[in-house]
Amino acid sequence: MTRKRCIGAAVAALAACALALTGNATQANAGQTDTGRSDDAAFEVAVGSAAVPKHAVTGYWQNFNNGATVQKLADVQSDYDIIAVAFADATGSPGEVKFNLDSAGLGGYTVDQFKADIKAKQADGKSVILSVGGEKGTVSVNDAASATAFADSVYAQMQEYGFDGVDIDLENGLNSTYMSQALKSLAQKAPGLVITMAPQTIDMQSTSNEYFKTALNIKDILTVVNMQYYNSGSMLGCDGKVYSQGTVDFLTGLACIQLEGGLAPSQVGLGTPASSRAAGGGYAEPSVVNAALDCLAKGTNCGSFKPSKTYPDIRGAMTWSTNWDATAGSSWSKTVGPHVHGLP
């Protein structure tokens, strides 16, 4: 992402990590798809109005202007099933977050318009969630107090705006014990919420990594992990071989680590830039994304790496961002969206 840092991968140093995976781990149940919306007047959060589709497309919507097409939420392309609003801001209290709409940067977009657009997207069967983190995010959840503050403040934003859940995109590290605690607490407050994660490639090379441990800790409530398959340089696949970003093998070989490391196929998505301008490196043509999805779901259109089995329930794909997608004529969503929705 263009508000995300680029990481150079030291491939040799990662070899032990990739080979440390426990293969053929028992897969978890599918991600959260509760269809019951809470209407209790005492708790104004309304989540789970529509189940996340079996095969879903996630897109990040930019609450800022960085040269990509400025969109109101209503402008987000219809192929996106989960819209992650980027980003919540850290406050002065550890763990606490707050969403601040950049009305001026978005051409006078008002809070009332934004809230109305969230409801309209939800009425169309979409999930709108709040993303926490990004390249410049400074949210820290490192103890019980900050875990409580995180859960309470995210819940407060859900009450205020009507968000359906939260996306964890912390790129400066996280503590699996306390982030897991925070997310489980949040799920108790708002049953049926959508929880997504967007770790960097290095964060998911081994089940011993804090991000991977968090995903496994909350797999009973986790919707999908849309790893960022970009801004990383070459990385190791689950077979211990080195693959270059932007290729089918990079997408399938790295997805295999998660698929064989304990996540359910429905909890794995492929995150790629919407255009070559959307990231520092790792752009994959939409046709490459589709080929990788075919390889994982059906065993067809693979590159040199072919998984030992297929994963027809793989969740789908993610992109940074809906704005960069619009800048490129929505070619990513127009190509990848129908393909995802047409998976078996």
Q: What is the pLDDT of residues 145-198, one digit of tens each?
A: 999 999 999 999 999 999 999 999 997 789 999 999 999 999 999 999 999 999
Average pLDDT, the chain: 88
CA pair distance 189, 187, nearest whole angstrom: 5
Q: Which residues are 82's β-sheet partners?
A: 58, 127
Measured in degrees and rounded to the nearest 5, phi and psi for residue 200 equal -80, 165
pLDDT digits (tens, 9 = 90+) for 199-238: 999 999 999 999 999 999 999 999 999 999 999 999 999 9
Q: How much is the average pLDDT of 66-92?
A: 97
**What's the CATH fold of domain 11-341?**
TIM Barrel (3.20.20)
Determine whether 44 is an active site residue. no
The contacts found for 98-106 with CB under 8 angstroms, 24 or more apart, are 98/153, 98/157, 99/63, 99/130, 99/157, 99/160, 99/161, 101/63, 102/63, 102/64, 102/65, 105/63, 105/64, 105/65, 105/70, 106/63, 106/64, 106/65, 106/70, 106/72
- Would you state the structure tokens that stand for residue 187, as one six-digit string? 């799920």
Domain boundaries, the chain: 11-341
More confident residue, 55 or 133: 55
Question: What pLDDT is stored for residue 30 in this prediction?
Answer: 39
Active site residue: 96, 135, 160, 171, which one? 171
Q: How much is the average pLDDT of 117-132?
A: 97
Question: What pLDDT is stored for residue 135 in this prediction?
Answer: 65
CA pair distance 47, 255, nearest whole angstrom: 29
Q: Say if residue 52's pLDDT is above 50.
A: yes
